[in-house]
């Protein structure tokens, strides 16, 4: 297969406020919406009705010039003066575009409904040829000529049943084979990319993907963390009382679009020993309070600029870069379990 990326710019048409308009998407975030000549006055009136405020518009579904579905999640807060000279310019947070091919009759090649829901989310990292051996994924028999055949993903993937926001799903650690040329005559193995997949048993609504501008109590991630940390009592099938204990937890930091982790983990050179700043202000409060919360056997030192530097294991929810996690995930899992075994050494926050 080949990884699909959204182009820097593309155009198409969409409907907003009940008006059919043209659009141009560019710069990775800017969505310009232009009405047809006969609809300019109508769009002017609609924008005036809103007081020229365009916050919280949510998802907008569109079709690009090639006839493929595309969906935009608009930012909760839009800039002032979005509407200028008959053009509405909005900032987008998420862009979804189908990679399904079409037949000559214009129908999609594979079974497909629309972009208003999904059954899986992939978080894809960098090339990891050094981490996953291609031999583990290649068929060893019936290889015709120079054709490369890959084993089914389940043969070399790690899968764990779980649930997210009450929806049952599987958490899968695996790789994606990115072959830039799909010809059977090429001998290039392509690149192996690390991937975490959340695969749901049932189709999910797009509203699950991002909830911006909401309080922690109104979002699902803080509640999932709280539920994982709380000790709850219940009865088993025999009627015996049992207690589920706080789970071990890890915070895996994914790279941004520039393959950088500095948005959260930023290396500093303020002292000879070196240190790393965790930008915890961007975290949900319950996660933030379980960072740097070790109260017993904690190790600290003073930086050259008199700041306090934590060393060693200092958080119940330790953060690890995705690139490090995939090289030896078992090490980080074992470390999380060790913190769980010594949970009394931490001041655990369990409430949202």
pLDDT at 342: 93
Note whether 292 and 347 are within 8 A (CB).
no
Note whether 320 and 252 are within 8 A (CB).
yes
Token pair of 167 as six digits: 């929806």
pTM above 0.75, yes or no: no
Burial category of 286 from C-beta neighbours within 10 Å (exposed 0-12, middle 13-18, buried 19 and up): buried
Q: Which residues of the chain have pLDDT under 50?
A: 1-3, 128-132, 181-184, 186-187
Q: What is the mean pLDDT of the chain?
A: 79
Which DSSP state fits 313?
Answer: S
Residue 221's H or E segment, with its range, is helix 220-229
- Select from 137, 135, 140 the least CA-distant residue to 150: 137
pLDDT at 132: 46
pLDDT at 305: 73
pLDDT at 2: 44
DSSP, collapsed to helix, strand or coil, labels residue 57 as coil
User: Strand 117-127's sheet: what is its strand order?
Assistant: 117-127, 191-205, 167-178, 158-164
> CB count, 10 Å around CB of 111?
6
pLDDT at 304: 73
Cα–Cα distance list, 104 to 10, 190, 194, 259 (Å): 22, 29, 34, 38
Token pair of 94 as six digits: 């998420």
pLDDT at 21: 95
Q: Print burial letters for 137-165: b (CB count within 10 Å at least 16), e (below 16).
A: beeeeeeeeeebebeebeebeeeeeeebe
pLDDT at 131: 42
Cα–Cα distance list, 175 to 42, 118, 158 (Å): 49, 20, 10
Q: Find where tokens 């994914």 sit.
A: 254
């Amino acid at each position: 297969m080949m990884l699909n990326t959204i182009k820097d710019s593309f155009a198409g048409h969409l409907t907003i406020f009940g008006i059919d308009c043209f659009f141009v998407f560019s710069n990775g975030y800017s969505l310009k919406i232009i009405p047809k000549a006969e609809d300019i006055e109508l769009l002017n009136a609609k924008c005036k009705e809103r007081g020229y405020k365009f916050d919280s518009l949510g998802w907008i579904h569109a079709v690009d010039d090639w006839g493929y579905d595309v969906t935009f999640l608009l930012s909760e807060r839009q800039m002032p003066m979005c509407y200028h000279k008959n053009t509405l310019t909005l900032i987008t947070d998420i862009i979804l575009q189908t990679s399904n091919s079409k037949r000559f009759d214009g129908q999609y090649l594979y079974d497909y409904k629309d972009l208003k829901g999904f059954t899986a989310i992939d978080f894809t990292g960098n090339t990891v040829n050094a981490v996953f051996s291609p031999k583990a994924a290649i068929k060893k028999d019936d290889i015709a000529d120079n054709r490369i055949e890959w084993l089914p993903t389940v043969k070399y993937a790690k899968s764990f049943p779980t649930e997210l926001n009450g929806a049952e799903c599987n958490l899968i650690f695996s790789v994606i084979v990115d072959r830039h040329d799909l010809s059977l005559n090429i001998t290039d193995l392509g690149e192996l990319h690390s991937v975490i997949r959340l695969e749901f048993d049932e189709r999910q609504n797009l509203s699950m993907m991002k909830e911006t501008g909401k309080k922690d109590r109104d979002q699902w991630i803080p509640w999932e963390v709280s539920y994982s940390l709380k000790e709850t009592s219940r009865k088993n099938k025999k009627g015996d009382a049992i207690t589920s204990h706080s789970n071990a937890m890890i915070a895996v930091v994914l790279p941004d679009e520039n393959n950088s982790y500095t948005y959260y983990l930023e290396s500093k050179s303020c002292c000879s020993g070196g240190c790393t700043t965790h930008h915890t202000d961007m975290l949900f409060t319950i996660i933030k309070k379980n960072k740097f919360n070790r109260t017993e056997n904690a190790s600290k030192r003073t930086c050259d600029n008199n700041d306090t530097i934590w060393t060693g294991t200092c958080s119940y929810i330790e953060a690890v870069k995705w690139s490090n996690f995939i090289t030896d995930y078992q090490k980080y899992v074992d470390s999380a379990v060790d913190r769980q075994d010594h949970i009394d050494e931490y001041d655990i926050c369990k409430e949202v």
